[in-house]
Amino acid sequence: MTIPQPLFVRSPANPILTAADLPYPANTVFNPGATRVGDETVLLVRVEDLRGISQLHVARSADGEHDWRFDPEPLLRAAVDLDPEETWGCEDPRLTRLPEREEWAIAYTAYSRRGPLVSLATTHDFRTAKRLGPVMPPEDKDASLFPVRFGGRWAMIHRPSPLRGGAHMWLSWSPDLRHWGDHKLLLEAHDGAWWDAGKIGLGPPPLETAHGWLVMYHGVRMTSDGPIYRAGLALLDRDDPGTVLCRCPEWVFAPEAPYEITGDVGRVVFPCGWVLDEASDRLSLYYGAADSVIGLATARFSDVMARVLASPVPAS
The smaller minimum CB distance to ligand BMA, of residues 206 and 266, is found at 266
For residue 179, the minimal CB distance to ligand BMA (Å) is 26
Kind of pairing, strands 28-37 and 269-277?
unpaired
The neighbour count for residue 174, using CB atoms within 10 Å, is: 18
User: Measured between alpha carbons, how far is 49 from 239 in angstroms, rounded to an integer?
Assistant: 42
Rounded distance, CA 103 to CA 145, Å?
13
Shortest separation between residue 184's beta carbon and ligand BMA, angstroms: 23
CB of 201 vs ligand BMA, minimal distance in Å: 7
In the bound state with ligand BMA, the residue whose beta carbon lies nearer, of 264 and 277, is 264
Q: Would you say 248 and 254 are in contact if contact means Cβ atoms under 8 Å apart?
A: no
Closest-CA residue to 78 (of 42, 51, 105): 51
**Rule CB under 6 A: which residues touch ligand BMA?**
31, 91-92, 229, 265, 268, 270, 288, 291
In angstroms, the CA 61 to CA 40 distance is 6
Q: Which residues pair with 95 in a beta bridge?
A: 106
Cβ 307 to ligand BMA, closest distance in Å?
24
Helix (H), strand (E) at residue 148: none
Least Å from the CB of residue 175 to ligand BMA: 30
Whole-angstrom distance, CA of residue 199 vs CA of residue 19: 28
Three-class DSSP category at 200 = strand
Q: 60 vs 230, which CB is nearer to ligand BMA?
A: 230
Kindly tell me which of 147 and 204 has the beta carbon lying closer to ligand BMA: 204
Minimal distance, residue 290 CB to ligand BMA, in Å? 9
Comparing CB distances to ligand BMA, the nearer of 31 and 284 is 31
Residue closest to ligand BMA, measured at CB: 265
- CA separation for the pair 214, 248 (Å, rounded): 11
Question: Closer to ligand BMA at the Cβ: 257 or 276?
Answer: 257
